[in-house]
A and B are shown apart, each in its own frame.
Chain A
Amino acid sequence: MEKNTQKRKLPQVYIDDMLMSLKYFTDEQELHLAIIDPAVCQTCEDQPCIQFCPVGAYRAQDGRTVQIAVQSCVECGTCRVLCPYLNVSWKNPRGGFGVSYKFG
Chain B
Amino acid sequence: MTRRFWVFIEQDHGEMHPVAAELLGVANCLVSEVADELKASGEEAIVEGILVGHNVDNVAKEALMYGAERIYQVDDPAFEHYLNRPYTEALTHLVEKHKPEVFLIGATTLGRDLAGAVATSVKTGLTADCTKLEMGPFRKIEKKLLLATRPAFGGNVIATIVCKDHTPQMATVRPRVFETPVRNPKAKGEIIQESFEVTPEMMAAQLVEFITDQTASLNLEYAEVIVSGGKGLGNPKGFDLIKELADELGGVVGSSRAAVDGGWIDYAHQVGQTGKHVRPKLYVACGISGAIQHKVGMQDSDYILAINTDPQAPIFEVSTLGVVGDLYDVIPEMIKQLRAQKGASA
Residues of A at the B interface (CB closer than 8 Å) are 14, 16-17, 19-20, 59-63, 67, 69, 71-72
Query: CA separation between A69 and B263, bound complex, in Å?
Result: 14
Between-chain CB contacts (< 8 Å), 22 pairs: A16-B257, A16-B272, A16-B292, A16-B293, A16-B294, A17-B292, A19-B273, A19-B274, A20-B292, A20-B293, A20-B296, A59-B260, A59-B261, A59-B263, A59-B267, A61-B263, A61-B267, A62-B236, A62-B264, A63-B263, A67-B267, A72-B274
Query: CA separation between A11 and B200, bound complex, in Å?
Result: 71
Q: Is the CB of B291 within 8 A of A17?
A: yes
Residues of B at the A interface (CB closer than 8 Å) are 236, 257, 260-261, 263-264, 266-267, 272-274, 291-294, 296
Query: CA separation between A67 and B263, bound complex, in Å?
Result: 10
Query: CA separation between A68 and B296, bound complex, in Å?
Result: 21
Query: CA separation between A62 and B257, bound complex, in Å?
Result: 14
10 further A-B pairs in the complex, CB-CB below 8 A; given A14-B293, A16-B273, A20-B292 = A16-B272, A17-B291, A17-B293, A20-B293, A20-B296, A60-B261, A60-B263, A62-B236, A62-B263, A72-B274
User: Closest residue to A59 on the B side, CB-wise?
Assistant: B261
Query: CA separation between A19 and B275, bound complex, in Å?
Result: 12
Q: Is the CB of A16 within 8 A of B274?
A: yes
Q: Is the CB of B293 within 8 A of A19?
A: yes
User: Closest residue to B258 on the A side, CB-wise?
Assistant: A14
Query: CA separation between A36 and B111, bound complex, in Å?
Result: 50
Query: CA separation between A67 and B268, bound complex, in Å?
Result: 11
User: Closest residue to B291 on the A side, CB-wise?
Assistant: A14
Q: Is the CB of A16 within 8 A of B291?
A: yes
Residues of B within 8 A of A72 (CB): 274
Residues of B within 8 A of A17 (CB): 291-293
Query: CA separation between A40 and B296, bound complex, in Å?
Result: 35
Query: CA separation between A48 and B294, bound complex, in Å?
Result: 26
Report the 8 A-B pairs with minimum CB-CB distance, sorted nearest first: A16-B293, A62-B263, A61-B263, A14-B291, A59-B261, A69-B274, A60-B263, A67-B267
Could you tell me the distance in whole angstroms from the C-beta of B214 to the nearest C-beta in chain A? 27
Could you tell me the distance in whole angstroms from the C-beta of B314 to the nearest C-beta in chain A? 11
Residues of B within 8 A of A67 (CB): 267
Residues of A within 8 A of B272 (CB): 16
Residues of A within 8 A of B294 (CB): 16
Residues of A within 8 A of B273 (CB): 16, 19-20
User: Closest residue to B293 on the A side, CB-wise?
Assistant: A16
Could you tell me the distance in whole angstroms from the C-beta of B236 to the nearest C-beta in chain A? 7
